[in-house]
């Protein structure tokens, strides 16, 4: 499959994924008091969750996102390599034209994906620079890459509901930002129950 077809394949798979996500979250609903959302920012403490519980939940969500990105985003037509980074202090900002975008405060960890293997990098910022130099700089429209950034935007006080923001750069003419809503299922595992696409370019 040539590289142009790989870009088209990725676009089709993204559209199908968004269509399959439940539409029930399209309308805003009020969360019960025990599920009030708390924004996760550096130094945040949650009265209903001690530090150990909060760390455990964050690791669960990070593991979920790493698996989700590898399986659903990188998929069966992968680039030569991809990077996935976890950021802290994520928030959604809105400008005067009601354009909404994600912002992340602090880079926590970065993983390098290549040939089906995921490796945590000891110097995340150096890895980002190296990846962009090797796989993005000076490339044409036919080249596919994968740069994924995500951060936990909010977490309910009972640890059952979360919102995660993700930005993705797939090719020179394909980028997007999206917010995923996650809830625990009956077995206690996290699953995506809704999504909001902020923008696609």
Residue pLDDT, tens place only, 103-127: 888 999 999 999 999 999 999 999 9
> What average pLDDT does this structure show over 9-34?
44
Q: What is the mean pLDDT of residues 84-95?
A: 87
Tell me if 49 is assigned to some domain: yes
- Which of 18 and 176 is assigned the larger pLDDT? 176
What is the Cα–Cα distance from 66 to 200, expressed in whole angstroms?
22
60 within domain boundaries: yes
Residue 27 lies in a domain: no
Identify whether 32 is part of a domain: no
Q: How far apart are CA 160 and CA 181, in angstroms?
A: 11
Domain limits at 84?
3-22+37-200
CA–CA separation, 98 and 198 (whole Å): 11
Nearest CA to 166 among 122, 121, 101?
101
Element (H, E) at 178: strand 174-184
For 127-144, write each residue's pLDDT tens digit.
999 999 998 888 777 777
If one counts the domains in the chain, the total is 1
Residue 151 resides in a domain: yes
- Report the predicted TM-score, pTM, of the whole model to 2 decimal places: 0.74
Is 69 within the bounds of a domain? yes
pLDDT at 36: 43
The whole-number pLDDT of residue 13 equals 53
Position 181 in a domain: yes
């Amino acid at each position: 499959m040539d590289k142009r077809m790989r870009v088209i394949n990725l676009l089709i798979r993204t559209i199908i994924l968004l269509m399959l996500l439940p539409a029930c979250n399209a309308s805003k609903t009020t969360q019960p008091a025990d599920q009030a959302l708390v924004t996760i920012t550096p130094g945040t403490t949650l009265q209903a969750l001690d530090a150990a519980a909060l760390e455990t939940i964050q690791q669960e969500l990070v593991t979920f996102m790493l698996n989700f990105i590898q399986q659903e985003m990188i998929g069966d037509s992968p680039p030569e390599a991809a990077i996935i980074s976890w950021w802290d202090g994520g928030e959604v900002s809105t400008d005067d034209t009601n354009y909404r975008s994600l912002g992340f405060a602090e880079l926590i960890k970065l993983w390098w994906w290549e040939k089906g293997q995921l490796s945590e990098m000891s110097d995340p910022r150096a890895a980002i620079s190296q990846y962009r130099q090797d796989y993005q700089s000076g490339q044409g429209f036919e080249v596919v890459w994968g740069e994924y950034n995500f951060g936990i935007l909010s977490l309910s006080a009972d640890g059952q509901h979360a919102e995660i923001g993700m930005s993705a750069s797939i090719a020179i003419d394909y980028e997007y930002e999206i917010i995923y809503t996650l809830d625990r299922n009956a077995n206690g595992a996290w699953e995506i129950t809704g999504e909001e696409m902020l923008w696609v370019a």
